[in-house]
Amino acid sequence: MLEKYFYYLSFLTTGLWSASVLPAQELPDTAKTYLLSGVEVKASVPSPFNANAPLQILPSGVLSKTGALQVADAVKFFSGVQVRDYGGIGGLKTVSIRGLSANYSGVLYDGIPVFDCQTGQIDLGRFSLDNVLTLVLQTGETGDLLQPAYKRGFAGVLNIITQNRWKNPEKKTELKATFKTGSFGLVNPSFYVGRMLNNTFFVRFSSEYLKSNGNYPFSQIYGFSDSTIRKRRKNSDVELYKLESNIFGNFSNGGQLSGKAYYYRSDRGIPGPAIYYSDYSGERVKDETAFLQAAYSHRLSRAADFRANAKFNFSAIDYSDLIYKDKQRACLYYQRQYFLNMTVRYRISEQLSVSWANDGIYGNFESSFSGAFHTRMTYLSALTGKYEHPVFILTGSLLHNLTDDENRAGSAFVNRLHWSPYLGVSIKPVENIPVRFRAYYKNTYRFPTLGDLYLSPVPTLNLQPENADQYNLGLTFAASPGGRISTVSFSGDIYRINVENKLVALPRSSMFIWSVQNFGRTETRGFDLNLKMQFQFQPEFSVRLSGAYTCQKVLDKTGETSPAYNQQLAYTPQHSATAYLLLEMPRLDVNYTFIYCGKRNYTGIDRPEYWMKPYTDQGLILQKTVRRHDCLFVFTAECLNVFDRQYEVVRSYPMSGRSFRLGIKFVY
């Protein structure tokens, strides 16, 4: 109880402090340049090779060339990441970072968290890449102190950045229209318009529609035998639309405001696993998500600034399953989240700055299934400090989490506290040699979600939070040698992660009855390598090459007598690699993408019976850009899974073989 009041107090004090400093502020010298360049909506992203913790970026110039349709497709190009992909456009796609469950991966949309209090996992298949500028994946703290505390609770955070500053103040209107079509009935138009209203405000509006029947063919292979039949996915259609409006304000006093209204709706079939001897699939989902979010940042003085974020999110899922002829199971799920954050940063000296972030998240979850209504209040507070020396940068933070549930129908999860420290150092030993060493320790955790606690037919309320300790050691190198090689950069990180009190769902000897328990311990050792090179052969002929490789051993350390003991965790390949090669040529851009995933098991028991075959997935993307005055036309032809490899990422969920897409984009 005491902690709760502490939180109210800290909210109040961060607010009051900001207010008290406000009148005394000086106008920043840079006000003019702010005005000219428009709003810097997001915090600037440091270069991955100068970052003091692992940071990976897919910039806009690359995103459109990878053949990715959804954020989930693009994330596959990051190292240390496995996308749990159930196949198809409508299929669930969650991301696992460094062998940790998807609950350890946070997702931010323009700097503000995306929530799911039922499962705690964000489906990246629901974010299209249309209008996405940059994807940034961060493990560890990069030293940007003006962040919500929420972000520090995750092992890795993916930031989906859709907005940037207004590029050209001379041009008052921006327009973009795209149309994509392709295999399996894909129709995907989108439209975007941006308008500079005056020197202070500009607005942007975007909309997207997508429809596909998704009934791609696949080969069903029965067990380890040679008997195979060719089938098609059934009940895999998807139809969705998305609307998004943004407003930006850039005030003469240096304050910056951004606001977003977002609406998404989809209607799709859930094809389910491709079951032997049965073709039936009767599950459907309609879902709806709407959110409003706003961020305001302000420089209070030369030494102090703050950023405040707020969000209201509503989502509804209308699920139905025609199990038997006369038996339909249907359920409505509703979620609401209110998020409020205030972060204050203070620069004590040239070298030392500190920040204090306070978040409050109220979430509730309602289901028509058992008339359940559950609420969770989470208070997060993070104190972060950074010390910058010419040779080294030291970052430390301490996060405190207090979680408090209420259950209308019965008893609730008792109050839980968690302290989560972080300590990172980055060293550049020699000034003229572009080599930097980095190391960090980070504690992360995952509380049982509302789904874990209350949706299980036999609730276990005394669950402990799952706990993970991460250790990372790395090295980066970045140079511009000149000549034909314009840039070359490399990063390598080795890491170790210990997870305890894992939360697992175990079935019981009846249908539809399971319970969640704390069971197990894992130990991860791995390394990630990234190499990026850019070549300039002629003024209009450049080559970009990127390769990422991950090696990880994620071992189950639960119960020495267990058949899974000391064996690689399910769905965790020991070797995986991705690469892309972009040839930007005067007449045509030719892009090639490559994904390799090594052998892995799907049960946690490393027996040949449970192995899944390694696979490669390669793509070829051709792009032609035509400029006419102020207008730009981009024509794209994509061939995905060029070699038509039949593979599964998740057991029994076949992925699509070779497919094609054509697209046209108009930009003004």
Contacts to other proteins from residues 313-332, by CB under 8 A = 322-327, 329
Q: Would you mind telling me the total number of residues written for the chain in this entry?
A: 668
Could you write out the three-class secondary structure of 230-247? EEECCCCCEEEEEEEEEE
Are residues 424 and 394 in contact, defined by beta-carbon separation less than 8 angstroms? yes
Identified binder of other proteins from the candidate list 278, 349, 432, 538, rule CB under 8 A: 278
From the list 46, 124, 4, the residue with the least C-alpha distance to 380 is 4
Pairing of strands 105-109, 156-161: parallel
Question: Which residues in 150-282 belong to E strands, given as ranges?
Answer: 156-161, 173-182, 186-196, 201-212, 217-221, 228-232, 238-250, 256-270
CB of 403 to other proteins, least distance (A): 17
* Member of 547, 619, 654, 663 binding other proteins (CB under 8 A): 547
Q: Residue 66 is encoded by which pair of tokens? A: 């990878």
Please, what is the minimum distance in Å from the beta carbon of residue 53 to other proteins?
A: 25
C-alpha angle 593-58-41 in degrees, rounded to nearest 5: 155
Q: Does 207 bind other proteins (CB under 8 A)?
A: no
With contacts defined by CB under 8 A, name the span among 97-105, 189-197, 294-302, 605-613 that binds other proteins.
Answer: 605-613
Count of residues binding other proteins (CB under 8 A)?
Answer: 77
Least CB distance to other proteins at residue 233 (A): 14
Shortest Cβ 116–other proteins spacing (Å): 21
Which of residues 535, 542, 635, 637 is near other proteins by CB under 8 A?
A: 535
Write the Ramachandran bin of 600: left for phi over 0, alpha for psi from -120 to 50, otherwise beta: beta
518 touches other proteins (CB under 8 A): yes
Name the phi and psi angles at 74, rounded to 5: -75, -35
3-state secondary structure of 272: coil
**Residues 475 and 387 sit within 8 Å (Cβ to Cβ):** no
Burial class from Cβ neighbours inside 10 Å (0-12, 13-18, 19+) for residue 534 reads: middle
Q: Is 250 or 552 the residue whose CB approaches other proteins more closely?
A: 552
Residue pointed to by tokens 């070779």? 658
Nearest to 270 by CA among 531, 627, 653: 653
Nearest to 475 by CA among 31, 53, 16: 53
From residue 163, give the alpha-carbon distance in Å to each of 205, 267, 293, 647: 11, 27, 14, 35
- Closest to other proteins by CB, 225 vs 349, is 225
Separation in Å, CA 473 to CA 56, 191, 254, 546: 16, 44, 39, 22
Smallest gap from Cβ 85 to other proteins, in A, equals: 15
Please give the Cα distance from 489 to 55 (Å, whole number).
Answer: 13
Q: How far is the CB of 489 from other proteins (least distance, A)?
A: 12
Stretch that binds other proteins, among 5-13, 246-254, 294-302, 511-519 (CB under 8 A): 511-519
Residue 314 or 602: the one with the smaller Cβ distance to other proteins is 602
Question: Which residues inside 628-667 make contact with other proteins, applying CB under 8 A?
Answer: 651-652
Our finding on whether 421 is near other proteins (CB under 8 A) is no
Residue 343 or 558: the one with the smaller Cβ distance to other proteins is: 558
Query: Rounded to whole angstroms, what are the CA distances from 327 to 238, 271, 275?
Result: 24, 18, 20
List binders of other proteins among 424-483 (CB under 8 A): 457-458, 460-464
Among 19, 275, 631, 662, binds other proteins (CB under 8 A): 275
162 touches 131 (CB < 8 A): yes
Find the part of the chain contacting other proteins (CB under 8 A) among 247-255, 385-393, 607-615, 629-637: 607-615
What's the helix, strand, coil split of the chain in %, to 5?
10, 55, 35
Nearer to other proteins, 396 or 520 (CB): 520
CB 330 within 8 A of CB 292: no
Q: Strand, helix or coil at 442?
A: strand
Q: Looking only at residues 214 through 253 of this chain, which bind other proteins when binding is defined by CB under 8 A? A: 222-225, 227
Among residues 549, 555, 636, 661, which is the contact residue for other proteins, using CB under 8 A? 549
Element containing residue 431 per DSSP (H, E): none
CB of 565 to other proteins, least distance (A): 8
Which residues inside 330-389 make contact with other proteins, applying CB under 8 A?
Answer: 370
In the bound state with other proteins, the residue whose beta carbon lies nearer, of 15 and 614, is: 614
CA distance 490 to 166: 32
Rounded to the nearest whole angstrom, what is the least distance from the CB of residue 616 to other proteins in the complex?
5
Q: Which is nearer to other proteins, 268 or 311 (CB)?
A: 268
- For other proteins, give the closer residue by CB, 429 or 507: 507
- Stretch in the footprint of other proteins (CB under 8 A) among 49-57, 341-349, 393-401, 556-564: 556-564
Binding window for other proteins (CB under 8 A); candidates: 278-286, 343-351, 417-425, 635-643: 278-286
Per the listing, tokens 């299209």 go with 128
Q: Provide, rounded to whole angstroms, the least separation between the CB of residue 320 and other proteins.
A: 13
Q: Exposed, middle or buried: residue 525 (CB in 10 Å: 0-12, 13-18, 19+)?
A: middle
Residue among 322 and 473 whose Cβ is closer to other proteins: 322
> Which residue from 212, 210, 209 is spatially nearest to 185, judged by alpha carbons?
212
Q: Cα–Cα–Cα angle for 43, 47, 50, nearest 5°?
A: 120
Count CA atoms closer than 13 A to 41's CA, side-chain side: 26
Residue 594 within binding range of other proteins, rule CB under 8 A: yes
Q: Is 399 buried (19+), middle (13-18) or exposed (0-12) by CB count in 10 A?
A: buried
Which C-beta is closer to other proteins: that of 33 or that of 227? 227
Nearer residue to other proteins within complex by CB, 48 or 272? 272
| Binder among 263, 314, 441, 602 for other proteins (CB under 8 A) | 602
Residues 119-178 that bind other proteins (CB under 8 A): none
When the beta carbons of 5 and 324 are compared against other proteins, the nearer one is 324
With CB under 8 A as the contact rule, the residue among 607, 624, 662, 664 that binds other proteins is: 607
Which candidate, 4, 8, 53, places its Cα nearest to that of 393?
53
Q: Which of residues 567-586 bind other proteins (CB under 8 A)?
A: 575, 577, 579, 581
Based on DSSP, count helices (H) and strands (E) in the chain, helices before strands: 5, 37
Q: How far is the CB of 559 from other proteins (least distance, A)?
A: 6
Interface stretch with other proteins, choices 93-101, 145-153, 290-298, 531-539 (CB under 8 A): 531-539
CA angle, corner 337, sides to 332 and 340, nearest 5? 175
Question: According to CB under 8 A, which residues from 24 to 63 bind other proteins?
Answer: none
Region from 59-67, 346-354, 467-475, 529-537 binding other proteins, contact rule CB under 8 A = 529-537
Task: For the CB of residue 291, give the shortest distance to other proteins in the complex, in Å.
Answer: 32
- Residue whose CB is less far from other proteins, 602 or 635: 602
Q: Which of 46, 434, 492, 614 binds other proteins (CB under 8 A)?
A: 614
